[in-house]
Amino acid sequence: MIVVQSSSAVTPQPAEGIAHPARAELELAAVLHALSDPVRLRMVAALAGDDGEHTCKSFDVPVTKSTCTHHFKILREAGVIHQRQAGTSRLNALRREDLDARFPGLLTTILQAASAPHETA
Amino acid sequence: MIVVQSSSAVTPQPAEGIAHPARAELELAAVLHALSDPVRLRMVAALAGDDGEHTCKSFDVPVTKSTCTHHFKILREAGVIHQRQAGTSRLNALRREDLDARFPGLLTTILQAASAPHETA
DNA sequence: CAGGAGATACGATGATCGTCGTACAAAGTT
DNA sequence: AACTTTGTACGACGATCATCGTATCTCCTG
């Protein structure tokens, strides 16, 4: 299962219909809303665990596939994650650089808060 | 169930009747949700401006009094603000200490993000 | 006491949300 | 080709939300 990645500048592919907001267009309210759901918070925490890309399947959340897709859409449209197609899978990655540039420290602080005692649910 | 109340005014609700969650009970998701509304974000930013207490009236938000009350309830129940009765007015204050203790840096970071360029709306 | 000011309570309404099931599409695998 | 895997699309549902208008309450002041 080797994914062939081009060595050239891949150009932030729109990937045929997967729309992502530009860095300058990230809205704080949207980001906070995206992170205000326990399921999504868990997803983001998992993504932040190792900065790699995760398939949708690799998340341990108590919802169905449909709901997962829905949550990923919210996260993507808020600019929290980036989605990239790779075969039958869709790889999800945290847009950490963009978020840090736009809202310095926000992501880190929220993830810390999320892993605080009594909040590990 | 029809209750005829207040005909002979008894035991009105003192300031103690306003319920606030304890520090240990603050939930991240609730806080993030409370702050994910532009109007509430503005209110909190105003409260953070000078750490004093603000009456409900003193906020410049484009909603009616009813809606204001609603937003304050959300903020209070999430533990973001503290409300205290003072005469006919209700004084609102940011629960900065509790928030900082529970979610270190969160409030500061969000407020910074809220006052970032392009987000000053 | 009567009136005004500050704020809540109580619907009501239209919008959005979180969840699901089913159906469908694309890319590997056998 | 047929099947499996991975994920989306489309409704649908109950729940919550943000907003408002109006009625009501409490306190202060004339």
Is B8 within a domain?
no
Is A38 within a domain?
yes
Per-residue pLDDT for A18 more than 60?
yes
Q: Is B81 helix (H, G, I), strand (E, B) or coil?
A: strand
**pLDDT class for B1, splitting at 50, 70, 90?**
very low
Per-residue pLDDT for A14 more than 50?
no
Contacts of B36 in chain A (CB under 8 A): 29-30, 32-33, 36
Number of domains comprising chain A? 1
Express each pLDDT in B32-83 by its tens digit: 999 999 999 999 999 998 778 899 888 989 999 999 999 999 999 999 999 9
Helices B106-114, B38-49: inter-axial angle, 10-degree rounding = 110
Compute the 3-state secondary structure of chain B and give helix, strand, coil in percent, each to the nearest 5.
50, 10, 40
Is A120 within a domain?
no
* CA A32 to chain CA centroid, nearest Å: 13
Q: Which CATH number characterizes residue A55's domain?
A: 1.10.10.10
Protein-proximal positions, strand D, CB < 7 A: 5-11, 17-22, 24-28
Angstrom CA distances, B111 to A78, B57, B101, stand at 18, 22, 16
Is B61 in the A-facing interface, judged by CB distances under 8 Å? no
Express each pLDDT in A90-100 by its tens digit: 999 999 999 99
**pLDDT class for A116, splitting at 50, 70, 90?**
confident
Q: Which residue is nearest to nucleotide D8 (CA to C1')?
A: A69
Is A107 within a domain?
yes
Tell me the whole-structure pTM to 2 decimals: 0.86
Where b means 16+ CB within 10 Å and e means fewer, B25-53 reads ebbbbbbbbbbbbbbbbbbbbbbbeeeeb
Is B95 within a domain?
yes
Q: Report how far apart the first and last C-alpha atoms of chain B are (Å, whole number).
A: 46
Work out the percent of chain B whose per-residue pLDDT is above 70.
Answer: 83
Is A27 in the B-facing interface, judged by CB distances under 8 Å? yes
Angstrom CA distances, A30 to A21, A22, A57, A79, B37, stand at 11, 13, 25, 8, 9
B63 CB-to-strand D distance under 7 Å:
yes
Is B6 within a domain?
no
Q: Are B99 and B85 in contact (CB under 8 A)?
A: no
Is A88 within a domain?
yes
More confident residue, A8 or A101: A101
**Domain residue limits at A28:** 20-115
Q: What's the gap in Å between the CA of A88 and the closest CA on chain B?
A: 32
